[in-house]
């Protein structure tokens, strides 16, 4: 099989200016709820792109844990590669790809920490093994083998029992959007693509060529 010969015709839906919401957050809320209702695999998974001090971009998958008028929230290890890159360059891009619905959402903006209270509340809502895992994994660091993680999990499990506190190196980030794009696949590669950008404190919606 020649991978260049793989083809798909996108014909499931359309995205028009009249049918889309004037507020990008409301449009995102509509699409995310439709993805959840359609039972697409992991509708909450999003690609997070950051740029390091060497100007090399990197991406990884994280899970959205909240969104409102303040922005898009996820949680992670502050000492990870993404944490280090955000410390040096607090701007990032997010992307959702709901393959079954032939939809993509792209979001760009400045990144800030969530409050300690928000991070504490979410951390304590997690399953016990996930809370222990936040202590056990020196994320993005080189380790000798999986046995290091297993040993760390056993150590912190014995130390904290059923009440591990939130690690000081673990918590939430919030991306404050200044640019949204909504992409709906269409036939003949004439896809629908709407961009929302801020201008004078308001959202401007405009169509981009695909």
* Separation between Cα atoms, residue 115 and residue 127, nearest integer Å: 21
CA 77 to chain centre: 14
Please, are residues 208 and 195 in contact by the beta-carbon 8 Å criterion?
A: yes
Q: Tokens representing 132? A: 């222990």
* Separation between Cα atoms, residue 97 and residue 203, nearest integer Å: 23
Please, are residues 93 and 45 in contact by the beta-carbon 8 Å criterion?
A: no
Active site residue 110: no
With CA atoms as reference, report the closest residue to 100 among 185, 26, 19, 24: 185
HSE value, Cβ hemisphere, 13 Å, CA-based, for 113:
14
Q: Which residue has the tokens 């083809």?
A: 7
Residue among 7, 56, 146, 189 flagged as catalytic: 189
Element counts in the chain: helices (H) and strands (E): 5, 9
List residues with catalytic annotation: 189
């Amino acid at each position: 099989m020649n991978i260049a010969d793989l083809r798909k015709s996108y014909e499931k839906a359309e995205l028009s200016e009249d049918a889309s919401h004037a507020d990008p957050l409301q449009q995102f809320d509509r699409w995310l709820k439709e993805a959840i209702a359609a039972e697409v695999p992991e509708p909450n998974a999003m690609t997070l792109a950051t740029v390091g001090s060497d100007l090399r971009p990197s991406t990884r998958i994280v899970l959205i844990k909240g969104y409102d008028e303040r922005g898009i929230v996820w949680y992670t290890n502050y000492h990870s590669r993404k944490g280090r890159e955000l410390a040096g360059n607090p701007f990032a891009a997010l992307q959702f790809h709901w393959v079954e619905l032939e939809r993509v959402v792209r979001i760009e903006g400045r990144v800030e920490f969530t409050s300690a209270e928000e991070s504490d509340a979410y951390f304590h809502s997690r399953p016990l093994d996930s809370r222990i895992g936040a202590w056990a994994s020196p994320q993005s660091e080189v380790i000798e083998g999986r046995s290091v993680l297993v040993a760390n999990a056993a150590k912190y499990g014995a130390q904290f029992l059923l009440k591990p506190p939130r690690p000081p190196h673990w918590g939430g980030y919030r991306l404050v959007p200044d640019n949204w794009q909504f992409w709906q696949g269409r036939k003949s590669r004439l896809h629908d693509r709407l961009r929302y950008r801020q201008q004078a404190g308001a959202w401007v919606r405009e169509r981009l060529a695909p």
